[in-house]
Amino acid sequence: MNLLQTNKLTKHFGDTRAVDAVDFTIGEGEFLALIGSNGAGKTSLVNVVSGLLRPDSGTIVFRGADVTQMSVHDRIVAGIARSFQLVNLFDQLTLLDNVALSIFSREDLTRKLLSLADHQKAVWEEAFDILRQFGLEGKATQLAGGISQGERKLLDVAVAYALKPQLLFLDEPTSGVSTREKAPIMDVVSSIVRSHHITAVVIEHDMDVVFKYSDRIVAMHQGTILASGTPDEIRNNEKVTTTLIGAAHA
Amino acid sequence: MSTVPLTWQVRSPAKILPWTVPLILILFILPRALDPYGTILLTYGLLMAIASIGFNLLLGYTGLLSFGHSAYFGVGAYAVALMFKYWHVQSMELFLLGAIIASVVVSALFGFICVRYTRIFFGILTLALSQVLWSLAFKFYEITGGTDGLRVPTPTLLGIAIDPNEDKILFLARNYYYYVLGFFLACVLVMWVIVNSPFGKALQAIRDNEIRAEFIGVHIRKYRFVAFLVSGVFTGIAGALWVVLNGLTTPDILYWPFSGEIVFMSVLGGFRTFTGPIVGAVVFNYLKTYAVGATVYWQALMGAILVFLVLALPAGIVGTLAQVIARLRHRFAR
């Protein structure tokens, strides 16, 4: 069953067709990788679906409901969350605060003006537990602005994960980290996402990561979907090999 | 579920009592040690601290630099003066109620317009709107008294009027000081709870990263608006308390340099700390008073102090002290 479906989804920036009449689907529980060269439209597609950008035309259907005109907030409530290519954190707050804020928001507690946040013990316990799952519990009380890039990437995912989404977009979760750090990060992310039956869409350039972790791969090129299939199908797809993988290895 | 680390501790009023109780006791005893003039100076400092913590909810916690807080301070002061002029109100509690209502109305209106913008646009809009109020106070002579301003007599405090035989200065230095101190403590407590509430955390998230805050489900504009409203009300209360002490309000307190003074207070004390704006307001009040007494070029002197502050102590008085203490602790821990 499709969790998300886009119909002729289009987003233009002037003459550039960032997303060009894209029909994209993702099934419940899938771990899908979005690949493509720079400018292929991967991030634009995620930006439109997550609500950061408004589409020019087309529709987005999530769990059977049209969410095209929904605000970011309503999409989050519906179950769509995301992380960012350039890590977006609350740098002057601790790691614990960063994750707890997602939980406060998810539980609609941020409206509470005259009660102490620290008295919401269950929130802090859950936040700490999430940090532990991501291997960040040792730095729980450090400021997010003072940890390494790899840890920031993990925290970025943890903040999105704390919203308990049904669909999680991960925009290049391993970009800017060393090759040595990539596998541990993806191991953690993949294991958490799969064990909690979260549907995930990962934008990734590293083909080793893509082939190792994803159930299905969607290749994009110039704002359109070039091909879709299992890692083996994509690996043997001549069009993809010539246009993307070949180009990447050239 | 895991146990949260020991370094993380629940903040509660009880945890900060060891250092707040002595401070509060000192504030209670001070009028006995100071002469009436010294106590009145301190009263000015305390009520400006209310305005300063209100302002800092926007700057320090929401990341919005307002250059128009003179508007809410002036609204509080003029609300009191107009209540006396037209309705002959003489109760301080009614004055405060009127000032709160007036500052809610004005800050809701201005906030509705301003929170759509950030950074320089927000600053300029707040400045421009405060100048509109200044020009109204300046031009509508029949109502506001123009540059002559409006006088406010000493009101009743909790129903108790000043004895006709009692010295007004002594009344202000004793009874009114404790009245302002009570409000100051209540405002500080309420603001402390607000900035440590889930709402306060959400404001800090907006300050640090607006896009990410939106993508964890925080209603950016709505929360900014509420912060603006709370900030305006605190500043309005300060204005109402100020006009009674001053006995007169003129358009000067609606003019933009007064907004600059409120910014100065927060920067002086350290806007990244909760107590910084309080310390900044009290210190600024003394600095300005002594600078005015020392030289006719007091504005130049204050400007030089501000330049020194930004260059030498960018974290402000409290921020720098906190850094020094942290360094010493680190050194002794090794």
Domains present along chain B, CATH in parentheses: 34-333 (1.10.3470)
- pLDDT score, position B226: 96
Residue, of A26 and B306, whose pLDDT is higher: A26
Alpha-carbon distances, residue B297 vs A242, B27, B97, B291, B301 (angstroms) = 76, 32, 39, 8, 7
Q: How confident is the model at residue A215 (pLDDT cuts 50, 70, 90)?
A: confident
Q: Where are the domains of chain A?
A: 2-88+164-249
Q: Which of A52, A101, A118 sits opposite B11 (nearest CB)?
A: A118
If pLDDT is split at 50, 70 and 90, which confidence band does A226 have?
confident
Residue B137 · residue B254 · CB < 8 Å: yes
Determine whether A2 is exposed, middle or buried from the number of CB atoms within 10 Å of its CB (0-12, 13-18, 19+).
middle
* Distance of alpha carbon B112 from alpha carbon B114, whole angstroms: 6
Angle, alpha carbons A103-A106-A107 (nearest 5°): 85
Q: In Å, how far from its chain's centre is CA B5?
A: 36
- Using a pLDDT cut of 90, give the percent of chain A over it: 33
Cβ contacts of A129 on chain B, cutoff 8 Å = 1-2
Q: List, for residues A49-74, the tens digit of each pLDDT value.
A: 999 999 999 999 999 889 999 999 99
Give contacts of B192 with chain A, Cβ < 8 Å: none
Q: The tokens of B46 are what?
A: 């305390």
Confidence at residue A246, expressed as pLDDT on a 0 to 100 scale: 56
Of B5, B12, B205, the CB nearest to A140: B5
pLDDT of residue B13: 61
**pTM, 2 dp:** 0.88
Complex ipTM = 0.87
Q: Which range, A183-192, A195-204, A240-249, B187-196, is most confident?
A: B187-196
Give the pLDDT of residue B107. 95
Q: CA nearest B202: which of A152, A98, A80? A: A98
Q: Do B202 and A104 touch (CB under 8 A)?
A: yes
| Residue A85 forms contact with B (CB below 8 Å) | no
Buried b (16+ CB within 10 A) or exposed e, B112-147: eebbeebeeebbebbbebbbebbeebbeeeeebbee
- For residue A166, pLDDT over 80 is answered with yes
Question: With an 8 Å Cβ cutoff, is B192 touching chain A?
Answer: no
- B215 — contact with chain A (CB < 8 Å)? yes
Section A201-206 average pLDDT: 86
**The CATH number of domain A2-88+164-249 is 3.30.360.10:** no
Distances A231 to A210, A212, A235, B55 between C-alpha atoms, Å: 8, 8, 6, 56
- Measured from the Cβ of residue A29, the count of other Cβ atoms closer than 10 Å reads 15
Nearest CA in chain B to A125: B4
Asked if the C-beta of B213 comes within 8 angstroms of chain A's C-beta atoms, the answer is yes
Give the mean model confidence (pLDDT) for residues A180-203: 87
* Low-confidence winner among A165-174, A204-213, B53-62, B70-79 (lowest mean pLDDT): A204-213
Burial per residue of A148-162, b for 16 or more beta-carbon CB atoms within 10 angstroms, e otherwise: eebbbbbbbbbbbbb
Task: With cut-offs at 50, 70 and 90, classify the pLDDT of residue A249.
Answer: very low
Does residue B265 contact residue B284 with C-beta atoms inside 8 Å?
Answer: yes
Q: What is the nearest CA distance from A163 to chain B, expressed in angstroms?
A: 7
The ranges of chain B with pLDDT < 70 are: 1-14, 334
Position A243 pLDDT exceeds 80:
no
Q: Which residue has the higher pLDDT, B330 or A106?
A: A106
Q: Is the pLDDT confidence value at A245 over 70?
A: no
Beta carbons within 8 Å of A104's beta carbon, 6+ residues apart: A110, A117, A120, A123, B198, B201, B202
Q: How many residue pairs from chains A and B have C-beta atoms closer than 8 A?
A: 138
